[in-house]
Amino acid sequence: MSSIVLFGPPGAGKGTQAARIMEATGLPQVSTGDMLRAAVKANTATGIEAKGYMDAGNLVPDEVIINLIKDRILEDDAVNGVMFDGFPRTIPQAEALSLITTVTHVIAIEVPDEKIVDRICGRYSCSGCGMVYHDTFNPVDSSGCECGNWQEKRRADDNAETVQSRLDTYHQQTSPLADWYMEKGIFHPIDGDRAIDEITGDILIALE
C-alpha cells in the first residue's frame, strides 16, 4: 500500500484539490479534520476530547489522531492506498504513518500567510457533496451546487480569531515536516496562490 500526502497551511486549498485528485487517481481522501468534525457531531469519546483543541485552533493529541488513522486504513477502500489531507501534522504523526504505509509523494500547497485569513473567512462548502466554495473567489452557482443536493455549511473554526492560532500552530508544529519530507526526496512544493485549475494541473504532473 502506498499513499500520498496533501500538505499545507489551513486555507491553502487542500480540500478543493483533494476532490480533483481523487477523481484523477481514484485514491480515497482521508481528512483527519473531517473525521474529527464527524466525531464531534456524533458526540463520540474522541469528538468530546477533540472539540476543545479544535475550537482553540490547537492540534488534537498525536495519540488520538494516530488511532483514528490506524482504524481508517483498515477499511476496504484503503487497500490500494489513500490520499491524506491534513495529516500528518507533526513529526511523531509522520513517523507513525511511515510504519503504516509508504508515502510516495508529499504535495505541499503553498500560500502566503497574508492571503490565508480572507481565504478561510469566506469559505463554505456543500454538505451534500463536500465541494468547497468561497464568497469571493469561488462562489456557488445561483442554482446551487452541481451535485443537486445543495446545502450550505460553514465551519465553526473558520473565523478570524481561530485562524491566527491555526496558522501559528502550523508554523510551529507542522511546517518542520517540510524539511523532514524534503530529505526523503518526496516533497513537491506547488504555488497555491493561482487559479484552481492551474494548481490541479501542476499537482497531477508532480504525481505522474
Q: Is 89 a catalytic residue?
A: yes
Nearest 10 degrees: CA dihedral of 63, 66, 72, 74?
Answer: -110
CB atoms within 10 A of CB 42: 9
Q: Is 119 a catalytic residue?
A: no
Q: Is 70 a catalytic residue?
A: no
The one catalytic residue in 37, 72, 89, 119 is 89
Report the residue number, 65 or 145, with the smaller CB distance to ligand AMP: 65
Asked if 55 and 120 count as a contact pair (C-beta separation under 8 A), the reply is: no
Report the residue number, 75 or 198, with the smaller CB distance to ligand AMP: 75
Residue closest to ligand AMP (Cβ): 33
- Grid cell 481523487 is found at 22
CB 90, min distance to ligand AMP, A? 7
CB 111, min distance to ligand AMP, A? 13
CB atoms within 10 A of CB 132: 19
CB 94, min distance to ligand AMP, A? 10
Report the residue number, 121 or 144, with the smaller CB distance to ligand AMP: 121
User: Do the strands 132-134 and 83-85 form a parallel or antiparallel pair, or are they unpaired?
Assistant: unpaired
The one catalytic residue in 37, 72, 119, 123 is 123
CB atoms within 10 A of CB 78: 18
Report the residue number, 75 or 144, with the smaller CB distance to ligand AMP: 75
Q: Is 166 a catalytic residue?
A: yes
Provide the 8-state DSSP code for 131: -
CB 208, min distance to ligand AMP, A? 26
Q: Which residues are at the interface with ligand AMP (CB under 6 A)?
A: 10, 32-33, 36, 53-54, 57-60, 65, 86-89, 93, 166
The one catalytic residue in 37, 72, 119, 166 is 166
Cα(32)–Cα(9) distance, integer angstroms: 14
Asked if 4 and 107 count as a contact pair (C-beta separation under 8 A), the reply is: yes
Q: Is 154 a catalytic residue?
A: no
Chain-centroid distance of CA 150 in Å reads: 22
Report the residue number, 64 or 201, with the smaller CB distance to ligand AMP: 64
CB 121, min distance to ligand AMP, A? 14
In three-state secondary structure terms, 138 is strand
Q: Output the CA–CA distances (angstroms, integers) from residue 52 to 78, 166, 173, in the order listed.
A: 29, 13, 18
The one catalytic residue in 20, 51, 115, 155 is 155
List the catalytic residues.
14, 89, 123, 155, 166
